[in-house]
Structure 1
Amino acid sequence: MASKILGIFLFLLVASSTAKDDTFTFNGFRGTNFRLDGATYVNPDGLLLVTDTVREKMGHAFYPSPFQFRSSRGGKILSFSSTFVFAMVSQFTEVSGCGLAFVVSATTNLSAVLPDQYIGLFNKENNGNSSNHVLAIELDTLQNLEFGDIDGNHVGIDINSLTSVSARTASYYDSTTNQFKKLSLASGQAMQVWVDYEGDDMILNVTLSPVETPKPNQPLLSSIVNLSNVVSDSMYVGFTSANAAFFTAHCVLGWSFKMNGTAPAIDYKKLPPVPQFKTSGRSRKLAIWLTVASTLLVVLASGVVVFVRRRTKYAELLEDWEREYGPHRFSYKDLFKATNGFKVKELLGIGGFGMVYRGVLPTSNIQVAVKRVSHDSKQGMKEFVAEIVSIGQLRHRNVVQLLGYCRRKGELLLVYDYMPNASLDKFLHERSKPTLTWAQRFRIIKGVASGLLYLHEDWEQVVIHRDIKASNVLLDSEMNGRLGDFGLARLYEHGSVPQTTHVVGTIGYIAPELGRTGKATTATDVFAYGAFLLEVACGRRPIESKSEQMVLVDWVLENWKKGSVLATCDPRLREEFSVAEMELVLKLGLLCSHPLPAARPGMRQVMQFLDGDAAFPELTPAYLNFSILSLLEKEGFDDYIMSFPSTMATMSAVSGAM
């Protein structure tokens, strides 16, 4: 009876655990009632050894009671904070075990896990499963290629998997030098870790430093981590560790934890001592050789796994009929490397049909733009790829060259020349960009018209772009406009009838007849070019929805009726433009946007107007009145799409279909 009372007294005095159920502090672990298994035990000094140098190869230690990690059943994730002091002590300093992890887990039953590289946390079958409900902060001292480890001395954030979502070489921020200083996790020295999660902002910070060093003001890791699908209503907190062929003592000296607040400070003076080991030179050499041999086997096995995974990672779709397009086909591996694995930092833009990344081809060091587009390989892919390869033969100073393609699983990758000044759209609509002068805009307008004339009339086949808009006009190093993104383009022979039957394009640029026929023609490209002309001149998108919807073409036409067409030009130009050129562009934009295809000019005629080789016809606003019902009725439009604005609204329902 006396021994039980003494045990309770020591637990209350030494462990210093608070009476609250949302926090605790342990300065040593004598008298604790943790859930321990495997190699884990508390030595007489109060040191928690998750694994040691003589026992089993893995162990676990969990606080006995779970914590409420959600505000209510299924509610929002709560904030939490924890800090602990640890040390990893090997019998032989040259080699170490697998590391230690701080764990937030839905269960304490980890009986099916494996030691070695799995650090007693997962096994081959469940590693990566969303059903694990595990968050771990790993202190990893063995590089495992199969998990993509950055090195053999790093800190990582793991979500249901040993492939870290964020990792960094073990180090701490020194405020005196404003730099991170490297630490060796397996040095045998005591170190402290802080784990802080902000539930509202979903930010997880992990900070590391030598023991008794004040907490650095910059964390080692800071990541946005959404735990909504990871954290259950109640979760356990604890530690797990494992050894490989060579045993290491993975020790925890002190630990504190708190929900919705900052974890209490650890009293360094009350912490148990770090163990020291001594061995003979002979046994030391033997252990080193055994460890080296074991490590080589692990590396070899990992290498095989990595090889298989790399084959899968870079797997492509390549059918026999594509072999004739060899020079135009890129390997997925090259494109993956060129874009640094399609990392966010290489992202140039996001469109309705895919994401565009900047890349540098590994063999030639040529800069390219890579667009990833979803596709269905069962529907006309052979014909589609044939058209892509044909488009790759286009050569014009105002057309971005399509260099080639790659097919992989459910996506198509299109490779283009890289344009350093990105898209015209950014210069027209992003206030952070400098304002383009009228001279620059007029040159771009003429350049795009020249490129379209080449596509429609001067190349060996007719190329219908089908997605002409400011964001698909790219600017080279000299700010020349080049028509790009041919992912939706279609080809047909001169004199033949287009066969496309699906409406694609972008709302505001889609010709009204597409809703009835579904067939793209050179006239539908001209319509989109008309919307583009007004966008460049006015600095406004074809359709804007603010307090009420504004259709640009209607607004320009209405001002022309009032005799104030110049009032629609971009105010950022500050009237520093040629009045004759501005009026020409505005009226030409209206003419190209005529609701009747036959009333629109061809691109050769457009070029003649822009070059001054032909006089622009004397038109009245009435000729271009897009709401004249008789004109639309002659084209067979029903009552639902009689007016131009409603026609454009109808197009939104079908734009984006392929």
Structure 2
Amino acid sequence: MAILNLNQRYYFLFFSFSLILHFLTLIAYPISSFLLQDFNLDKNPNFDSDFILLGDAHITKNGNFINLTSLSSGSNSGQIVYKKPFKFLDSKSSKPTISFSTDFTFTITPGNGDGIAFVIFPKSDELSQVFGHGYFGVSDSIDHKFVAVEFDTRKDDNVADLNGNHVGIDVGSFVSSDTSDVSSIGLLLDGGEPLESWIDYEASSKRLEVRLAESGAEKPEKPLISYAIDLSKMWGDKEILVAISSSNGNSLQVSSLSSWGFRIRTVSSSLHSVPLDPEAPQVHEEQPVQRKKNSFLNILGTLIFATGCGTLVAFVALFFWVVLYGRHSNVALELPMNTMEFKYEKVNVTIDNHNAPVDATS
């Protein structure tokens, strides 16, 4: 078997070292996340430090729900805001590095209300400038640099609504930039049944995708809406907040939230690229992600990262060992060769012919 010389060893270790580094850059690091499945404050001691309830939003007595609107006559609205800001743009490299995924389970009772909306907006010192009694509880005086995913239960011709049962993406205005009829997948937004939505934004493809299903069902492979948008260009390096908001539209409609999960992740900027045609549909090899599996996926990601780091440390240690000590042992070991003398003796063999057959003719 051929033995590697010193230069070949260096090349092999350098290649292995580079491979491990590349492997680590492929890991998406979760930098902020939460999962609310129970709003009982005794089970969520950090609730007040991480979230704020505005307007008519309140936790029910049993702690199972947050009612964003109340069962009362007159217009009311409410919001839950995640108070930890983030940025879509890396201020050092000026490259988009943030992607996010969120899923939440909600219930909307019958009525002529607005429904519910997931809102992304720049951080403001006064949240009263953001939320009020406008569409979905968003203030009419809000800075138009906001994005909302609306689950609309009322057809309003003033904002060119598709119908009273649609999902829309709103960019700076509640005249939706893209919409999809929820009836096409056999669901009713204000039927009083719990529904679950998944909203994903990928910084690499610059697409915002929205999915919807009955609560407890798997995440659909096909999105209701896949919309091309570059959120890093919209806000630059400004701090961004997210919220879920609702307004009853002066009706008896009640919008409730029974769970909310949110995950921000960042990937090495070298892996990001702008699609040749941002309007072209992108193919995602995406596995269904369920709310119940979030904890498992976080643990798995941590284990993978730890394994990669351990392997990297081992290769670094091996590299330095070869540099410091291996160069003195690059000659193959040879077994000692000793001469030996062998003695040969002549052996005489006598054959007994007494039992041989007698020739009768002799």
TM-score (norm 1): 0.33
- Whether 1:104 and 2:148 are equivalent positions in the alignment is no
Secondary structure at the counterpart of residue 79 of structure 1:
strand
User: Counterpart of 2:263 in structure 1: which amino acid?
Assistant: K
Are positions 1:41 and 2:53 aligned together?
no
Alignment RMSD, CA only? 2.6
| Cross-structure match for 2:308 | none
2:250 matched to 1:245? Answer: yes
2:301 equivalent in structure 1: none
Contact 1:81–1:263 at 8 Å: present in 2 too?
Answer: no
Match of 2:314 in 1: none
Q: Distance in 2 between matches of 1:252 and 1:25?
A: 13
Q: Deviations over 1:91-139 (max 9, x none)?
A: xx4x33111101111136442467666222131x55xxxx433111101
Question: How big is each residue's C-alpha offset from its partner over 1:132-159, in whole Å with a ceiling of 9 and x where there is no partner?
Answer: 3311110111111121111111101111
1:264 and 1:72 map into 2 onto residues whose CA distance is: 30
SS of the equivalent of 1:195 reads: strand
Q: CA deviation at 1:75?
A: 3.4
| Alignment partner, residue 20 of structure 2 | none
**Aligned residue number for residue 161 of structure 1:** 173
Q: Secondary structure at the match of 1:111?
A: helix
Pairwise CA distance, 1:80 = 0.9
**What does the per-residue CA deviation read over 1:296-322, in whole Å, with 9 as the maximum and x for residues that have no partner?**
xxxxxxxxxxxxxxxxxxxxxxxxxxx
- 2:160 corresponds to which residue? 148
1:218 and 2:237 aligned:
no
Whole-angstrom distance in 2 between the partners of 1:263 and 1:82:
13
Residues 584-612 of structure 1 deviation map (CA, whole Å, 9 limit, x = unaligned):
xxxxxxxxxxxxxxxxxxxxxxxxxxxxx
Show structure 2 runs of 5+ residues with no match. 1-29, 42-46, 267-286, 294-362
| Counterpart Cα distance in 2 of 1:141 and 1:219 | 19
- 1 or 2, which has the higher helix percentage? 1
Which of structure 1's runs of 4+ aligned residues deviate more than 2 A? Answer: 67-75, 107-110, 112-117, 228-234, 260-268
Q: 1:57 to 1:263 in 2, by over 3 A?
A: farther
Aligned 1:561-572 pairs, distance under 5 A: none
Percent identity (aligned): 28
Give 1:615-654 correspondences, 5 Å limit. Answer: none
Counterpart in the other structure of 1:29: 39
Counterparts of 2:288 and 2:220 in 1: how far apart (Å)?
Answer: 15
Whole-Å separation in 2 of the counterparts to 1:213 and 1:227 = 29
Which one scores higher on RCO, CA 8 angstroms, separation ≥ 6? 2
The equivalent residue for 1:133 is: 145
Equivalent residue letter for 1:118: Y
Match of 1:68 in 2: 87
Q: Of the candidates 45, 62, 68, which is equivalent to residue 50 of structure 1?
A: 68
Cα 1:263–1:75 shift into 2, 3 Å: farther
Count, aligned residues: 232
Contact 2:119 2:243 in 1 (8 A): yes
Do 1:27 and 1:266's aligned partners in 2 also have CA atoms closer than 8 Å? no
C-alpha distance in 2, partners of 1:266/1:116?
31
- Please tell me whether the aligned partners of residues 39 and 52 of structure 1 are also in contact (alpha carbons under 8 angstroms): yes
Structure 1: gaps of 5 or more residues: 1-19, 172-179, 269-658
Query: 1:264 and 1:30 mapped to 2: Cα distance?
Result: 25
69, 80, 87: which one aligns with 2:100: 80
Listed one character per residue, the Cα deviations across residues 337-360 of structure 1 (whole Å, up to 9, x for unaligned) are: xxxxxxxxxxxxxxxxxxxxxxxx
Give the partner amino acid of 1:266. R
Partner of 1:186: 190
SS at match of 2:232: coil
Q: Distance in 1 between matches of 2:233 and 2:171?
A: 10
Pairing 1:470-481 to 2, within 5 Å after superposition: none
1:165 alignment partner AA: S
d(CA) in 2 for partners of 1:48 and 1:201? 34
Amino acid at match of 1:85: T
User: Could you give the per-residue CA deviations for residues 545-578 of structure 1, whole angstroms, max 9, x where no partner exists?
Assistant: xxxxxxxxxxxxxxxxxxxxxxxxxxxxxxxxxx
Distance 1:266 1:228 in 2: 26
2-structure distance, mates of 1:21, 1:70: 14
Give the structure 2 partner of residue 589 of structure 1.
Answer: none
1:107 is aligned with what amino acid? Answer: K
- 1:529 is aligned to none
CA distance in 1, matches of 2:214, 2:288: 18
Q: Which amino acid aligns with 1:79?
A: S
Separation in 2 of the partners of 1:157 and 1:121?
15
- Cα deviation for residue 248 of structure 1 reads 1.7
| Per-residue Cα deviation, 1:459-487 (whole angstroms, up to 9, x for no partner) | xxxxxxxxxxxxxxxxxxxxxxxxxxxxx
Q: Distance in 1 between matches of 2:289 and 2:236?
A: 24
The CA deviation at 1:264 is 7.1
Counterpart-to-counterpart distance in 2, 1:77 and 1:247: 42
The secondary structure found in structure 1 opposite 2:120 is: strand
The DSSP-based 3-state class of the residue aligned with 1:72 is coil
Residue 120 of structure 1 corresponds to 137
Q: Distance in 2 between matches of 1:264 and 1:216?
A: 9
Which residue identity is paired with 2:77? M
Rounded to whole Å, the distance in 1 between the matches of 2:219 and 2:244 is 21
The verdict on how the C-alpha distance between 1:45 and 1:69 changes in structure 2, with shifts beyond 3 A counting, is farther
Partner of 2:200: 196
The structure in which a higher percent of residues are strand is 2
3-state SS of the aligned residue for 1:150?
Answer: coil
Mapped partners of 1:21, 1:83: distance in 2:
17
Cα gap change, 1:88 to 1:232, in 2 (>3 Å): farther
